[in-house]
Every structure is written in C-alpha cells, then in structure tokens.
C-alpha cells in the first residue's frame, strides 16, 4: 500500500509542477543524461534521473567490520518507473560495487560516470521496462565521509569500538547507493550484523537490548529522504523518559543524560498541542561520543546528539526541542532541494522557540530569541564582508557547490524571523492554525520555496498582508528587510547594564552579581564585552573561572576572546577543548581566530595534527580549508 501511494503521490507532484509552470509562464526544467551521467537539473546536487524513475523502498543488509572499517553487503532498491527509461542512475561516492542484479535474476553490466570531488560518481545501471527492483552488492570505503569509526580509546567506556553515520547533506551516497536528493522519499528495512557486545540502532524502529548474536533488524514504514538514513553501533544502554521517548548512551553517560533530558516527554506533548500528532511513534535521543560534528541531527525516531549539551544544569536542552521540532518541519515536510534549506531550518527554529516558551516561559524564550538575532547579524556581516551577499538570501543558489555552504544562521535565524514577522502581522491564533494545516496537508511530502509562497498566499495572507510582509525581500533579497523584528529580553537587559558598566571601568569583575544567571546570560555577557585586554581577561577568569568551565558554549565564546586578546593562560585548556570536542560549530570560529596570526596559526596546526584523526569528515573538511 505504501509503494502504490508513493507512486501516485510522485506522479501527482509532477503534474502539479507542470501546471504551476504553465500558470506562471515558466518552462519546466528537464534532465538530460549522457552515458557518463550529469547532475540533475531538478536537483543540482544529485546525479539521479528522478524525473524518469524513483526509488520508493530500500532493503539494506550489512556486516559491520570494525577491523577493516567498512560496511559490507547489499542494497535492494525497489523502483517506480515514470517513463520508458533504460537506465537507473544512482548517487555514489567511494563505493566498491562488485555485482548488480535485476529482479528477474539477470546480472547487469553497470558502469560509473565521471567522478566529482564533492558529488561523487554516478552509478549507471541498465534496466528493463519491467524492472521493479535492483540489488547492488558493494562495500563502503574506510574513508566514507558519512561514517565515523572510533577506536575504543575514543569512547567514554574505553572498552569497545563505536560507529556512527552523518548523512546530511549529501553524504548518504558514501554508504548507500541511492537517489541522494531530499526530493525523493522512500521507506526502508535493514538487517545489521555486528559484534554481540554492541547495540545497533538506526533511524527506524529500534530495540533497547543487545542481542546475543549481534544481529539486528529494522523497519522504517514512514517515507524519509536519504539524508535521514542513520546508523549507530556501540556499547549503548537505554532508559525511558516517558510514554514514547527515551535516551540511549554509553553506560557511564546514561544517568547524566537522563537527568539532563528529563523534559523530553513534556516537549513531545507540548509540540503535539501546537501542531498536531507526532507521526513517528517513538522519539529517542542517542548521546554520541564527542567527535559527532553537530549539536544534533534529526534522524527520524532517533535524534543524534552531541555530549556537549550535557551541561549539568539543563541549560542547553533547547537543542533537543530543535531536533524534536524537525519531526514536523524537515522530516514530515521536507525541503525539496538544498536551495530550499530554510524551509527545514527556519520553521524548526520558530517551532523550537514555541516549545521552549511553553515549557519554560516567555522570558526564557525571549533570551533565546535575542541571542539568535545577535548570531544572525554577526553571520550577515561576515558573509557580506566576504563578498557572499547572495548567501544572505533565504532561497539559495548552491548549484555546483557543497550544500553544506548553505548551513549558516541565515537559513535558521533569518528563516525564523521571517515567520515571526508573519505571526506578528496576522496574530498567533491565525498563524498556528495555518501551520497546523501546512504540516497536515503536506505530511510525508516535499516542499519548494515557490510552492510554499503559493501555499502561504492561498491559505493565510490577504493581498494587503502580502504587501506588508514583503515576502520577496525576505526570501530572495539580501540581509534583513526593514520590517524585521527587534527582539527584546528583560533578562538580557540587566546583563546589558552590567556590560556597559564593566566596559567603562565602573565596576570590577568580582563585584558583578550573577545570581540567577543561566548559560544564556553568560553568553550574552561574553558576546557584549568590548574593552578587553589580557589583564582584564585574567580578572574575569579569576572571578568566573571561564577557562576551566565545563560548559562548551561558554568555553567557546571565552576562547574566542582569549585568542583575540592573546590570553595565553587559556591556551592549554583550549587545546584540551579542541582535541576532545568535534562539534563544527565550535571548531570553525576557534581555528579561524587562531589562523589570523602566524604564531597562533603555527600552534593551531600543531593542535590540529593531533586532533584531526578524532574529527568527523564534516568537521575536518571545514577546518582543512581554514588552516591551509
């Protein structure tokens, strides 16, 4: 039933697209493929001929080989033919393909197209008009960019090896031959064979106990995009946090993680009240080793999370609210291409803030919002000074570029403030009703920016409101339009007063009253300081112990100042930080700051030589460019 429904939906989407083009007077783009394969016109980051044939289910069978650092097995792809094509083109990168069979048993002579450093290599498979599935026998590369293989020494327990994947944005093709485009959704099942003392989990229905034989089976009956394919294998334990939620972590981390994430079930309940039922049955979080390159990854049913959110005071749990919100915005309704990335992230940040407001109050939400605007303005200024003003648009043109280039605060924060601007004009009641309808009408489908604008105008905005919102300026224009909100926070106002006094030498660091300060107060304080030098850095350090803080967010902002002010007392602690944390959000600004002077660049390269083997590809790919 799922396959037939998906086929029908895909055909309907194509028909709607052509009708839309006729209505607005444009010509639909088509894909032309030569024998080597070419990037598709309807997705500039995929080789797949999705206008001719579409994958709607994948069956994976893997052996996890920790010694060779490879996955070895098969992928059977069930396909729906949309035209009389004789070829299926899949995205691959560094895969060693041995055999390919059609569903009639025929072994086919496949070929690879031209290799591209970013996009990999198209796999060209001859098929028949009657072909309904192909099975690819292959082995991943030890250098697969999605897969991070950790030795036991790189884990908390120090006893067993660990493996995790990171498929977003276009890294799924480095461990699964697929149509690696967010515009293609499919269901999947899998069988994973690993060592008996390890637990395997996927972005699917998971067990909670290790199997004696190390054999695990998975089913994902809801359709997802390839970037949401996920696998983790390690010494993991589970504990429930409520009706349909729980936490996986290494045994030594589980109690801390459970205490930190105790609000997970309340988050789910609050989200459902806002925008409708949670569509994925179970919501779990797995806390990964420190080398995970992101704060979190919204893999359906199983959010991947960095241990840097385990701060000991529950101050960083908004990240979990963000990943949970993706269960609606992103996983349920998905950006059609990476040029439409803001549709995933802008909606999610807006939704995250609504969850946090509901759980922790308006004043808490206002702090997060004001910090978000500060981050956005910094990013906009940096992009403009780097000559990348086009990257300050919500709708991006990433053709020929790594889609990770679009992973900036623009998609997240400018997208969120665009939605807040709409809410402020039409009122929360109308906007909530619109969003609930949006998620319901488009669930398990993809959305493009053009179609979203049509949907917004048809279902919410009057003509006068369309003019007032300035939709085109927000989406297709640079920077912030003149109707952008100006966030206000009573809590951060009092911090602003402290900053002004300290910058003007009217108070000392030790006289600052930080009673009731959360992580967010300290971040605003550190980001606002202007008149610093090494002496004042030492004074602040003696008062607040910033150099030795266990809070990664505060540590990163403090180390930025330490670099700029040449506060060498903090450099040993910074080295520990850089060699033990693999989160790209922290690594890129610190290495960028260090690269600005020859002495610090030399030091950074020495630290990086030690740290790089512990980083995921997503992280070291960014840092390599900084330190070249």
Provide the angle, in degrees to the nearest 10, between the axes of the packed helices 264-275 and 342-360.
110
Kindly name the residue from 250, 323, 365, 553 that is annotated as catalytic.
Answer: 323
Structure tokens at 181: 């485009």
d(C-alpha 459, C-alpha 154), whole Å: 51
Is 250 considered catalytic here?
Answer: no
CA angle 133, 137, 138 (to 5 degrees): 130
**What gap in Å lies between CA 478 and CA 475, rounded to an integer?**
8
C-alpha angle 25-29-31 in degrees, rounded to nearest 5: 165
Per DSSP bridges, beta strands 70-81 and 53-65 are: antiparallel
Helix (H) or strand (E) holding 373: helix 362-385
Query: For residue 341, what is the DSSP state?
Result: T
Q: Give me the phi and psi of 451, to 5 degrees please.
A: -70, -30
Separation CA 501–CA 428 (nearest Å): 38
Q: 517: left (phi > 0), else alpha (psi -120 to 50), else beta? A: beta
What Rg value do the Cα atoms of the chain yield, rounded?
Answer: 25
Neighbours of 333 (CB within 10 A): 21
Report the alpha-carbon distance of residue 416 to residue 357 in Å, rounded: 15
The CA-atom distances, in angstroms, between 76 and each of 46, 167, 569, 580 are: 19, 19, 56, 38
Residue 77 backbone dihedrals phi, psi, to 5 degrees: -110, 120
Alpha helices (H) along 470-533: 471-476, 490-503, 519-528
Give the containing element (helix H, strand E) for 24: helix 2-24
Give the torsion through C-alpha atoms of 273, 274, 277, 280, to 10 deg.
-120
CA angle 174, 9, 459 (to 5 degrees): 110
Which of 184, 76, 82 is closest to 129 using CA atoms? 82
- Which of 160, 412, 591, 620 is catalytic? The answer is 412
- Let me know if 323 is a catalytic residue: yes
| Phi, psi at 523, each rounded to 5° | -65, -45
Give the residue from 376, 614, 370, 565 showing the smallest Cα distance to 546: 565
User: CB–CB of 249/210 below 8 Å?
Assistant: no
**Coil, strand, or helix at residue 418?**
helix
Dump strand ranges (E) for 243-314. 245-249, 283-287, 296-297, 302-305
Any bridge partners for residue 54, and if so which? 80
Catalytic residues: 323, 412
């Amino acid at each position: 039933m799922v396959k037939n429904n998906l086929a029908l939906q895909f055909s309907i989407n194509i028909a709607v697209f052509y009708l839309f083009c006729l209505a607005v007077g444009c010509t639909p783009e088509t894909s032309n493929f030569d024998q080597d394969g070419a990037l598709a016109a309807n997705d500039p980051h995929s080789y797949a001929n999705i206008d001719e044939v579409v994958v709607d289910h994948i069956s994976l069978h893997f052996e996890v080989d920790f010694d060779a650092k490879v996955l070895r097995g098969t992928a059977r792809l069930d396909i729906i033919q949309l035209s009389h094509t004789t070829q299926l083109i899949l995205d691959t990168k560094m895969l060693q393909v041995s055999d390919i069979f059609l569903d009639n048993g025929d072994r086919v002579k496949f070929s690879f197209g031209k290799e591209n450093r970013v996009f990999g290599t198209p796999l060209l498979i001859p098929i028949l008009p009657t072909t309904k599935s192909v099975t690819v026998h292959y082995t991943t590369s030890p250098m697969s960019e999605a897969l991070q293989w950790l030795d036991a020494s790189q884990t908390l327990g120090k006893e067993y090896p660990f493996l995790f994947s990171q498929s977003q944005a276009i890294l799924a093709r480095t461990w699964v031959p697929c149509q690696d485009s967010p515009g293609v959704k499919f269901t999947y099942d899998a069988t994973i064979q690993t060592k008996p003392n390890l637990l395997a989990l996927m972005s699917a229905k998971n067990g909670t106990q290790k199997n004696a034989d190390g054999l695990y089976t998975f089913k994902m009956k809801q359709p997802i995009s390839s970037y949401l394919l996920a696998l983790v294998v390690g010494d993991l334990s589970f504990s429930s946090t409520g009706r349909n939620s729980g936490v996986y972590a290494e045994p030594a981390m589980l109690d801390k993680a459970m205490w930190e994430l105790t609000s997970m079930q309340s988050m789910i309940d609050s989200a459902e009240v806002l925008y409708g039922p949670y569509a994925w049955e179970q919501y779990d979080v797995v806390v990964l080793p420190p080398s995970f390159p992101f704060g979190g990854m919204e893999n359906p049913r199983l959010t991947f999370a960095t241990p840097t959110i385990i701060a000991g005071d529950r101050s960083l749990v908004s990240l979990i609210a963000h990943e949970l919100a993706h269960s609606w915005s992103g996983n349920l309704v998905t950006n059609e291409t990476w040029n439409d990335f803001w549709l995933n992230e802008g909606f999610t940040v807006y939704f995250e803030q609504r969850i946090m407001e509901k759980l922790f109050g308006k004043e808490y939400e206002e702090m997060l919002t004001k910090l978000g605007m500060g981050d956005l303005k910094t990013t906009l200024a940096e992009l403009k000074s780097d000559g990348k003003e086009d990257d300050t648009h919500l709708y991006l043109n990433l053709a020929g570029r790594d889609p990770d280039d679009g992973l900036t605060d623009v998609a997240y924060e400018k997208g969120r403030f665009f939605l807040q601007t709409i809410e402020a004009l039409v009122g929360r009641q109308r906007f909530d009703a619109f969003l609930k309808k949006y998620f319901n009408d488009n669930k398990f489908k993809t959305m493009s920016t053009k179609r979203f604008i049509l949907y917004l105008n048809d279902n919410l905005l009057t003509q006068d409101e369309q003019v007032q919102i300035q939709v085109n300026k927000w989406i297709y224009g640079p920077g912030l339009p003149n109707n952008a909100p100006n966030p206000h926070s009573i809590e951060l106002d009092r911090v602003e007063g402290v900053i002004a006094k300290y910058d003007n030498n009217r108070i000392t660091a030790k006289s600052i009253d930080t009673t009731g300060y959360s992580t967010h107060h300290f971040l605003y304080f550190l980001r606002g300081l202007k008149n610093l030098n090494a002496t004042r850095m030492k004074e602040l350090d003696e008062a607040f112990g910033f150099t030795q803080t266990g809070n990664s967010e505060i540590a990163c902002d403090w180390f930025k100042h330490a670099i700029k002010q040449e506060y060498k007392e903090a450099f040993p602690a910074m080295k520990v930080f850089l060699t033990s944390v693999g989160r790209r959000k922290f690594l890129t600004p610190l290495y960028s700051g260090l690269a600005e002077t020859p002495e610090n660049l030399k030091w950074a390269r020495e630290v990086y030589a030690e740290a790089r083997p512990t980083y995921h590809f997503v992280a070291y790919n960014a840092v390599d460019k900084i330190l070249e």
